[in-house]
Amino acid sequence: MYRVKEVFPTLQGEGAQAGRVAVFCRFSKCNLWTGREADRHRAVCQFCDTDFVGTDGQNGGTFASAGELARHVASFWPTPGQGRPLVVCTGGEPLLQLDEALIEAFHEQGLEVAVETNGTLPAPAGIDWLCVSPKAGAQVVIDVCDELKLVYPQQGASPEDYDGIRARERFLSPMASPYGLAGEDPEKQRNTRLAIDYCLQHPRWRLSVQMHKIVGID
Ligand code: SF4
């Protein structure tokens, strides 16, 4: 049984695949926060701005089998038979649920499988693009990935702390205000400047901006 908050087609907004059309599959639940505001102060990860609780989002639900979920996800690819269909498995923490059977079922539907994980759980075989986004205070157990994406700055999680992870690409994503400010976010602007300065000093890191927020898409 797979529990999914929402499924929707959009453009990937961040990192190495930014601008690419993808179907997002947001799994319910995370191992670093319950998702309830009342618990935020005691969560390991405190800056989350995503609703991953339950299955009541757009096209969400519970799916009895890998094949059922894979067919559901594939049905949202906007132009059947065209492009390089991609599913981005996100959350919450997708590796609480994503298993080899589901990866295989996605592949059978012609979908490449990208995953965005906090890196605290082992990744099943077969993932086509693995993006690890470490969180302070949570031990990362994945040591090889395609993309490392660090929200910056994070007390207790410096970019150098992840030098031991082998990644094709390394991105800093400026920390936004935890209060989800609409429009102007001076804190994010400051953090963007800090991230740019860090990249200039450490050019193997690149800046990742949240393109989807800048252009106003989900
Ligand atoms: S690890 Fe990701 S999904 Fe989980 S609470 Fe943190 S930002 Fe949210």
For residue 164, give its domain range: 2-215
Q: What is the DSSP letter of 141?
A: -
Interatomic CA distance for residues 147 and 143, integer angstroms: 11
Burial of 174-198, coded b for 16+ CB within 10 Å and e otherwise, reads bbbeeeeeeeebeebeebbeebeeb
Catalytic residue among 6, 14, 93, 116: 116
Distances, alpha carbon 182 to alpha carbons 42, 148, 168, 213, 215, in Å: 25, 27, 33, 10, 13
To the query of whether residue 41 is one of the catalytic residues in this protein, the response is no
CATH number of the domain bearing residue 80:
3.20.20.70
Catalytic residue among 50, 99, 143, 197: 50
Q: In the 3-class helix/strand/coil scheme, how is 39-84 assigned residue by residue?
A: HHHHCCCCCCCCCCCCCCCCCCEEECCHHHHHHHHHCCCCCCCCCC
Q: Answer for the pair 108, 127: CB distance below 8 angstroms, yes or no.
A: no
What pLDDT score was predicted for residue 214? Answer: 82
Split into its structural domains, the chain has a count of 1
Residue whose Cα lies nearest atom 2 of ligand 1: it is 92
Ligand 1: atom nearest CA of 33 is 5
Residue whose Cα lies nearest atom 3 of ligand 1: it is 92
Say how many Å lie between the CA of residue 91 and the centre of ligand 1.
7
Can you give the pTM of this predicted structure? 0.95
Ligand 1: which residues within 6 Å by Cβ? 30, 32-33, 45, 48, 50, 52, 91-93, 118, 135
> If DSSP codes are grouped into helix, strand and coil, which group holds residue 16?
helix
What pLDDT score was predicted for residue 215? Answer: 81
**What is the mean pLDDT of each successive set of 10 residues along the chain, which is 218 residues long?**
98 96 98 97 95 98 98 96 95 98 98 98 98 98 98 97 98 84 80 98 96 82
